[in-house]
A and B are shown apart, each in its own frame.
Chain A
Amino acid sequence: MNKQSNVYTTIYIIVLVLVVGTALAATSLALRPKQQENIDADKMRQILAAVHETPSADDVVAEFNRYIVEQTVVNTKGETIEGNAFTINMAEQVKLSPDERSLPVFVCELKSGSRKYILPAYGAGLWGPIWGYIALDSDGSTVYGAYFAHQGETPGLGAEIEKPAFTDQFNEKLHLFKDGKFLPIEVVKGGVAPANGADYVNGISGGTITSKGVGAMLDNCLTPYKSYLEKLKNSSNG
């Protein structure tokens, strides 16, 4: 048989591709559940990081189920709606207009018994997506902690948003409600306080676009929760 003929070559490559394709499809199907578990565990780890809990890789799921006592979905009017908070894809939600969004809330009960409300955020940095989780006290205003992550920001510059030097700024009693007005946390340059009196954190020098991205993300993702947080604030006062 002539191995250089066109017929042989064509049949050869078709058979080869079919064999390799089948092998890949089989691998992917066999490993899908295990991979999804890992992705979920990673998300749980990130949510817990917002309330300063860092369980080891093996206990993430158990710790998450212990701390997170309630998962709800709300709309911009602050009403609870149908849905699974954990599986909501924030990347798709932020593209919708605020009124159409499903807003996940993770309610966490710490060992001390105090309740924290963890809200997810998703936005754009310089090179790719950035995301995070912001934990609030039960007054719906005081920030308890924050976790940020990114896909591919510049190491040493924009990528610093995930480092404690940046996120620890969120531990210092920042407030979303100032004199009854709702003002999301701003990210500023050089410590210049925003004109509207909002609480702020310092951005990262050399990581201006990523810092601005964090500011825009907080604004875009926290503002829809305004009604929900107001209800929370009023119920904690009364």
Chain B
Amino acid sequence: MAEKVNNKSVFFNPFSKNNPVIVQVLGICSVLAVTAKLEPAIVMGISVIAVLAFSNVIISLIRNTIPTNIRIIVQLVVVAGLVVIVDQLLKAYTYDVSKQLSVFIGLIITNCILMGRLEAFAMANKPWPSFLDGIGNGIGYTIILVIVGFFRELLGSGTLLGYQVVPQWCYEHGYVNNGLMILPPMALIVVACIIWVHRLCNKDLQED
């Protein structure tokens, strides 16, 4: 089984050193899809944190009872169940956001971060560290979503969380919103820029 885990590093490592998006490169697809505006990015982040933390705990609790040959199926059933519950909650309490996120909430099931963390961490660790790992990775994912969403909404629509940020006189002096920022490819470029800056600050992550 795994070596003794340090709760603090389990929680904080995914923020930067072992970030799920920019270091492990998991969950890129949803980063492209939901970051055109800041609000859905935040809601998506919170949803992933919730699903990831709870599925990690549940899998960790039952890890010793799961028959090895159907463990992936068991993980999928747990994740799918939690995702549907989150989807139902969003439909009931934040209808507009759930309309915007539409299929992407369902697609949390296929988000590689979840299966990756369940298989790599929760299957081998106690519930409490697994919970921290889930929250940590969820926050690491959310940080990137929010950064990308911030730049895409600011440069693409001139707004933040729906409020006009770029003042009117900028438009009067010829400033134009960059329509390209709204399109998915720019999310990839923004993520690449984040990875670039991140590697510059963390020399030990640089590959030859």
Interchain CA distance A13-B89 in the complex, whole Å: 26
Interface stretch of the complex, out of A1-9, A112-120, A193-201? A1-9
What is the CA–CA distance of A109 and B142 in the complex, to the nearest angstrom? Answer: 46
Contact among B84, B95, B179, B182 with A38 in the assembled complex (CB-CB below 8 Å): B95
| Interface CB pairs A-B, < 8 A, 22 | A3-B67, A4-B68, A16-B77, A16-B78, A17-B77, A20-B77, A20-B78, A23-B85, A27-B85, A27-B89, A28-B88, A31-B88, A31-B89, A31-B91, A35-B91, A35-B92, A35-B95, A38-B92, A38-B95, A41-B95, A155-B182, A156-B179
**Total count of chain B residues near the partner, CB < 8 A:** 24
On whether the beta carbons of A12 and B70 are closer than 8 Å, the reply is yes
Residues B52-100 near A (CB distance < 8 A): 65-70, 73-74, 77-78, 80-81, 84-85, 88-89, 91-93, 95-96, 99
Q: Does more than half of chain B's interface fall in helix, strand or loop, or is it mixed?
A: helix
CA distance A23 to B95 in the complex (A): 22
> In angstroms, how far is the closest chain A Cβ from the Cβ of B127?
17
Determine the main DSSP class of A at the interface with B: helix
Q: What separation, in Å, do the CA atoms of A31 and B89 have in the docked complex? A: 7
Q: Within the assembled complex, what's the spacing in Å between the Cα atoms of A27 and B88?
A: 7
- A59–B23 Cα distance when bound, in Å, is 46
| B50–chain A nearest beta-carbon distance, Å | 14
With contacts A4-B67, A8-B67, A57-B96 known, is A38 near B74, CB below 8 A? no
Q: Is the pair A16, B74 in contact by a Cβ cutoff of 8 Å?
A: yes
For B99, the chain A residues whose CB sits under 8 A away are 42
Q: Which residues of A contact B65 (CB under 8 A)?
A: 3, 12
Q: In the complex, which of the residues B69, B73, B74, B95 has the most CB atoms of chain A within 10 Å of its own CB atom? A: B95
Q: How far is the CB of A210 from chain B (nearest CB, A)?
A: 18
Is the beta-carbon distance between A38 and B91 smaller than 8 angstroms? yes
Contact yes or no, A20 B96, CB < 8 A: no
A34, closest chain B residue (CB): B92
Residues of B within 8 A of A12 (CB): 65-67, 70, 74
Q: Mark A99-123, 1 if CB is under 8 A from B, else 0.
A: 0000000000000000000000000
The CA-CA distance from A227 to B81 in the complex, in Å, is: 51
